Amino acid sequence: MSAPLRLMAVHAHPDDESSKGAATMARYVAEGTEVLVCTLTGGERGSVLNPKMDRPEIVANISEVRRQEMEKARQILGVRQTFLGFVDSGLPEDENEPLPDGCFALQPLEVASAPLVAAVREFRPHVILTYDDDGGYPHPDHIMTNKVSVEAFEAAGDPDRYPGLGEPWQPLKLYYHMGFTRERFEALHQAMTDRGIGSPYADWIARWEDRPQKWDVTTRVPCGEYFEVRDQALIAHATQVDPDGFWFVCPRELQREIWPTEDYHLARSLVDTETPEDDLFAGIDVCDRTSTHP
């Protein structure tokens, strides 16, 4: 019997795993894939975004509360999860505001990457999911997450780099999340408008005029039947997600009809594959699943 496929999702904060690629992970878990979420920070500087949870006792213990939320979401998704120990950098109000001393985004690249390299060598993923080089949106922790993910992908298989952090393991494919594309939101906006449902997406679409899409979508993973699991995982992050808010305005059945996939850009591949893809593991041969080399 071949070894199971392994998927690693690298995220900046607890809740990111539920808003980006959650249905994909739930699908692969159901199919027998081993999935590990690596969360680089604890979300210590995150605000309480759900007004129903904006209470003094929660604000005072936000770090512990967010870890508890992460555990609930992890159980819902059926994944493994680990915190890699860095401190949330916060989101500056403007680009000139200095970041806090010691935060994740200010770490030297090799310091920030070392725990992820160790995690890659221990878990031995065939595929890694992360953000693009703009972070998906320009949060300093998201941008740094891209940098350390690329570094770990390129370094974990090299025995001369990061010595003492485990036996080398070379992942085979690296993807960027592409869930927040103009094409997707225009399709959902039009479908809601056609059905007389108020759409919240008009302002988002208008803002895309100033931010052209940098990466193309190469891979669309069908996972509509797991949108409910995704939504349950999102709701588990109660300080961050209002169950009556933006995330849930578009009916789930309409999402399944109009856009039943989660989408990605194939940023690195050490196996032969043809795009467009509908599977993150496309091109990965059975023999690759137990090898430290492509």
Q: How far apart, in whole angstroms, are the C-alpha atoms of residue 136 and residue 149?
A: 14
Phi, psi (5° rounding) for residue 29? -60, -45
DSSP string of the chain?
Answer: -PPPPEEEEEESSTTHHHHSSHHHHHHHHHTT-EEEEEEEE--TT-----GGG--HHHHHTHHHHHHHHHHHHHHHHT-EEEEEEEPP----SSTTSPPPTT-GGGS-HHHHHHHHHHHHHHH--SEEEE--TT-SS--HHHHHHHHHHHHHHHHTT-TTSSTTS-S----SEEEEE--S-HHHHHHHHHHHHHTTPPPS-HHHHHHGGGS---S---EEEE-GGGHHHHHHHHHH-TTT--TTSGGGSS-HHHHHHH--EEEEEEEEESS---SSBS-TTTT--GGGGG-S--
237 annotated as a binding-site residue: no
CA dihedral 54, 60, 62, 67 (to 10 degrees): -130
142 annotated as a binding-site residue: yes
* Neighbour count for residue 257 (Cβ, 10 Å): 11
16 annotated as a binding-site residue: yes
Q: Judging by DSSP bridges, how do beta strands 261-269 and 219-222 pair with one another?
A: antiparallel
Residue stretches of the annotated binding site for Zn(2+): 13, 16, 142
Residue stretches of the annotated binding site: 13, 16, 142
